């Protein structure tokens, strides 16, 4: 066991965790935030477990909890500002960017970072940015529409 200090959505957690505990399991089982999903059984393929580590989108099944010691994490629960949805969350709602929603937390976290780095993306760039997120419901058309709409909304 190792004691770690991790700031999650602005709150610091000091916890004793098994050395081999994955970061996604720490977030879900220790911190209790279950918006971050596991879809590909920890293979790093689906992107459902994507979070921000110090502002960078990362797949939390590919990291150990101990690697987050001393760092800041944002999960999908931290995207809304004072209960107001982020522009990207609003766009997903308005553009029907999800069906079952299982992939959605990961898509939102990845595309939030994507739009911060590329505020005026082409559709091709959006599609390329989504390579690390598997969605088996939407066919991606509405996801791309939502990201495009969010970019416009942020710019205005």
Chain residues binding ligand FES by CB under 6 A are 38-40, 42-49, 59, 61, 98-104, 135-138
21, 25, 66, 63: which is closest to 44 by C-alpha?
Answer: 63
Is the Cβ of residue 115 or residue 130 nearer to ligand FES in the bound state?
A: 130
CB 52, min distance to ligand FES, A: 14
Rounded Cα distance between 64 and 86, Å, is 28
* Interaxial angle between packed helices 141-155 and 87-94, expressed in degrees from 0 to 180 and rounded to the nearest 10: 140
CB atoms within 10 A of CB 77: 16
Q: Which residues contact 147 (CB under 8 A, 6 or more apart)?
A: 88, 91, 97, 111, 114, 115, 121, 126, 129, 130
Say which DSSP state 86 is in: P
Is the Cβ of residue 1 or residue 100 nearer to ligand FES in the bound state?
A: 100
CB 103, min distance to ligand FES, A: 3
Is the Cβ of residue 3 or residue 73 nearer to ligand FES in the bound state?
A: 73
CB 41, min distance to ligand FES, A: 7
CB 60, min distance to ligand FES, A: 7
Is the Cβ of residue 17 or residue 22 nearer to ligand FES in the bound state?
A: 22
CB 104, min distance to ligand FES, A: 6
Rounded Cα distance between 32 and 126, Å, is 31
What is the number of H-type helices and E-type strands within the chain? 5, 5
Is the Cβ of residue 65 or residue 98 nearer to ligand FES in the bound state?
A: 98
């Amino acid at each position: 066991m190792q004691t770690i200090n991790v700031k999650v959505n602005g709150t610091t957690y000091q916890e004793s965790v098994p050395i081999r505990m994955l970061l996604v399991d720490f977030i879900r089982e220790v911190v209790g935030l279950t918006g971050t999903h596991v879809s590909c059984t920890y293979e790093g393929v689906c992107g459902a477990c994507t979070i921000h580590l110090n502002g960078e989108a990362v797949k939390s099944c590919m990291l150990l909890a101990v690697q987050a010691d001393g760092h800041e994490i944002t999960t999908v629960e931290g995207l809304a500002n004072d209960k107001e949805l982020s522009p990207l969350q609003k766009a997903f709602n308005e553009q029907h960017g999800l069906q079952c929603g299982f992939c959605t937390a990961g898509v939102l976290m990845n595309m939030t970072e994507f739009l911060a780095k590329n505020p005026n993306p082409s559709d091709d760039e959006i599609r390329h940015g989504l390579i690390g997120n598997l969605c088996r419901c939407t066919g991606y058309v509405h996801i791309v529409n939502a990201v495009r709409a969010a970019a416009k909304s942020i710019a205005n």
